[in-house]
Amino acid sequence: MVWLLALVALAALAIYGLNGRRLTDTERDRYARFEEFARNVPGVLYQFRIDPQGTMGFPFVSERIESLTGCTAGAVMADAEVIFSRIHGDDRAAVFKAIEDSKEALETFEVTFRLEHVKHGTRWLEASSTPSRSDDGTLTWHGYLEDVTEERATQDRLEQADKVFEVMREGILIADESHRIVRINPALERMLGYSSEELRGKTPAMLYSSRDRDAAYQDILNALDAGAGRWQGDVQMQRRDGSAIDIDCFVARIRNEAMGTVRHISVLHDISERLSYQQRLERLASFDALTGLPNRRILSDRLDQAIAQSQRTGEVFAVCMLDLDDFKPVNDRFGHEAGDQVLKAVGERLGDTLRGEDTVARVGGDEFVIVIRHYKRDPVVFDRILNALAGPIELDASQATVEVRGSLGVSLFEPTTPLNGDQLLRQADQAAYRVKSRGGHDYRFFSGPDTE
């Protein structure tokens, strides 16, 4: 240990002092080398002594004490309280307890404490020394004192980082240079259902759903190993129970130049709720909240698509406006909840009647629009639509049954006489109005001014 050399030199000095003789050349050389050593080691060499009367003192302190504490070696050797008085108030008791414990057991004295530097404020110091007892009962510690402020600061930062790792709501995954999992935090354990122990040594690929395991995960690896060293995007992962979870993922390659190590840090945020909310908003913007059928927005898109395809292929398609007959009496007699139940039943019956390529949309209170693709000029389809409405509808609240019928107006899109979606809807609405004015429960084609 570093202080053993100091002890040898000090022993030589003690012999010289006791015997009153001149030092030999070897002793002078040894002393010179000790002085050089003491000046250049990063810490402080010291002797600390307690005599049989309990008096404490420092027989020797190397000159480095001034840079560590702001106190000169001479001042410290003259009065031990020069150092002791600068020990932080919260640490003073611990230092003296460590001295007492070492004294009683004759074991190594080790303590880390704060000291108020004369110029530089609070510093962390670490002392270590070995005690020996002389024949008269005097105890002498031979030791080393060093400044560990930076090490403590680093340790504090590591502890803070570890606490952040533990308490963060986002999931964190740490992988090594070979993309093997080192550790995950509690948030990710809760998010995915795996423990950190279960995943240690495995690759993150196992956490990705089959949808993203090949494409997205490979993109991440390419970005980390051969690209910018970072990647961000939305991915789908898979929980331990097999269920999917949508994740906003940020991954970065972190290199510790001092230690020559590489870590890949992933920060993972569960966006399932956000995506679900977005999907609900998109559905509300595109579909009728009551019946689940497309609304005017989707209907407009479907009409535009049908028109574009018709102009390319010569397809004829039909746009039908269905206005329910006898719906108002249901509302008036049984209330709006009953009316809503009727509208949902009508939407379901229309959907069951038509093909997948056709469109049923709700565009108003009791108005539905039907787009029939690839119309073959066979009006039986319109009879099917009207017949689908037939039959009783059971009302939950009143346990009564009601029946409704419909007035159906039809407008045809012919490639030779192109119209836009709004024109087709107006024509179908005019034809439906004429049917309703003539008693309803029938269909009629728009045929020009006579339907106005």
Please answer whether residues 247 and 270 qualify as being in contact, where contact means their C-beta atoms are separated by less than 8 angstroms.
yes
Using alpha carbons, select from 65, 91, 95, 93 the residue that is nearest to residue 77. Answer: 65
Q: What integer pLDDT is reported at residue 40 of this predicted model?
A: 65
What is the distance between the alpha carbons of residues 29 and 34, in angstroms, rounded to a whole number?
Answer: 9
> What are the residues whose beta carbons fall under 8 Å from the beta carbon of 287, sequence distance 6 or more?
293, 294, 295, 298
- Asked, for residue 402, whether it belongs to a domain, the answer is yes
Let me know whether 367 and 439 are in one domain: yes
Q: What integer pLDDT is reported at residue 7 of this predicted model?
A: 45
What is the distance between the alpha carbons of residues 318 and 378, in angstroms, rounded to a whole number?
Answer: 11
What is the distance between the alpha carbons of residues 285 and 308, in angstroms, rounded to a whole number?
Answer: 24
Let me know whether 409 and 291 are in one domain: yes
Which residues face 242 on adjacent strands? none
Q: What integer pLDDT is reported at residue 132 of this predicted model?
A: 93
- Asked, for residue 159, whether it belongs to a domain, the answer is no
Q: What integer pLDDT is reported at residue 178 of this predicted model?
A: 92
Tally: H helices and E strands in the chain: 16, 17
Let me know whether 27 and 117 are in one domain: yes
What is the distance between the alpha carbons of residues 279 and 273, in angstroms, rounded to a whole number?
Answer: 10
Q: Are strands 401-402 and 367-372 parallel, antiparallel or unpaired?
A: unpaired
DSSP 8-state code for residue 363: -
Q: Which two tokens stand for residue 296?
A: 């005017």
Please answer whether residues 293 and 351 qualify as being in contact, where contact means their C-beta atoms are separated by less than 8 angstroms.
yes
Please answer whether residues 86 and 69 qualify as being in contact, where contact means their C-beta atoms are separated by less than 8 angstroms.
yes
Q: What integer pLDDT is reported at residue 9 of this predicted model?
A: 47
Please answer whether residues 64 and 39 qualify as being in contact, where contact means their C-beta atoms are separated by less than 8 angstroms.
yes
What is the distance between the alpha carbons of residues 56 and 79, in angstroms, rounded to a whole number?
Answer: 9
Let me know whether 264 and 211 are in one domain: yes
Let me know whether 124 and 249 are in one domain: no
Kindly write down the DSSP assignment for every residue of 257-274, as one continuous string.
TTTTEEEEEEEEEE-HHH
Let me know whether 203 and 331 are in one domain: no
Cα atoms in the Cβ-side hemisphere of radius 13 Å centred on 268: 28
Map tokens 């899109």 to a residue.
413
The residue segments making up the domain with residue 60 are: 2-149
- Asked, for residue 222, whether it belongs to a domain, the answer is yes
Let me know whether 446 and 304 are in one domain: yes
Let me know whether 99 and 189 are in one domain: no
- Asked, for residue 19, whether it belongs to a domain, the answer is yes
- Asked, for residue 158, whether it belongs to a domain, the answer is no
Q: Which two tokens stand for residue 164?
A: 């952040």
What is the distance between the alpha carbons of residues 67 and 76, in angstroms, rounded to a whole number?
Answer: 13
Let me know whether 43 and 117 are in one domain: yes
DSSP 8-state code for residue 51: -
Q: Which two tokens stand for residue 114?
A: 């704060």
What is the distance between the alpha carbons of residues 385 and 350, in angstroms, rounded to a whole number?
Answer: 7
Which among 116, 149, 182 is the end of a domain? Answer: 149
**Would you call 313 exposed, middle or buried from its count of C-beta atoms within 10 A (0-12, 13-18, 19+)?**
exposed
Backbone angles phi, psi at 209, to 5 degrees: -70, 165
Q: What integer pLDDT is reported at residue 16 of this predicted model?
A: 43
Q: Which two tokens stand for residue 322?
A: 């269905």
- Asked, for residue 162, whether it belongs to a domain, the answer is no
Backbone angles phi, psi at 111, to 5 degrees: -155, 145
Q: What integer pLDDT is reported at residue 166 of this predicted model?
A: 87
Using alpha carbons, select from 236, 43, 248 the residue that is nearest to residue 129. Answer: 43
Q: What integer pLDDT is reported at residue 11 of this predicted model?
A: 42
Using alpha carbons, select from 363, 371, 353 the residue that is nearest to residue 310. Answer: 371
How do the pLDDT tens digits run along the chain, 452 residues long? 444 444 444 444 443 443 455 767 776 777 667 666 666 677 899 999 999 999 999 999 999 999 999 999 999 999 999 999 999 999 999 999 999 999 999 999 999 999 999 899 999 999 999 999 999 999 999 999 999 999 888 888 878 888 888 888 899 999 999 999 999 999 999 999 999 999 999 999 999 999 888 888 999 999 998 878 899 999 999 999 999 999 999 999 998 877 778 999 999 999 888 887 777 777 777 888 889 899 999 999 999 999 999 999 999 999 999 999 988 888 888 888 889 999 999 999 999 999 989 999 999 889 999 999 999 988 899 999 999 998 888 888 777 888 899 999 999 999 888 789 999 999 999 999 999 999 989 999 998 765 44
pTM above 0.95, yes or no: no
Q: What integer pLDDT is reported at residue 34 of this predicted model?
A: 67
- Asked, for residue 157, whether it belongs to a domain, the answer is no
CATH code assigned at 337: 3.30.70.270
Let me know whether 357 and 414 are in one domain: yes
Let me know whether 12 and 38 are in one domain: yes
Q: At what angle do helices 421-437 and 296-313 cross, to 10 degrees?
A: 110
What is the distance between the alpha carbons of residues 80 and 90, in angstroms, rounded to a whole number?
Answer: 19
Let me know whether 196 and 238 are in one domain: yes
Query: In the chain, how many domains are there?
Result: 3
Q: Which two tokens stand for residue 302?
A: 């479907």
- Asked, for residue 281, whether it belongs to a domain, the answer is no
Q: What integer pLDDT is reported at residue 278 of this predicted model?
A: 75
CATH code assigned at 57: 3.30.450.20
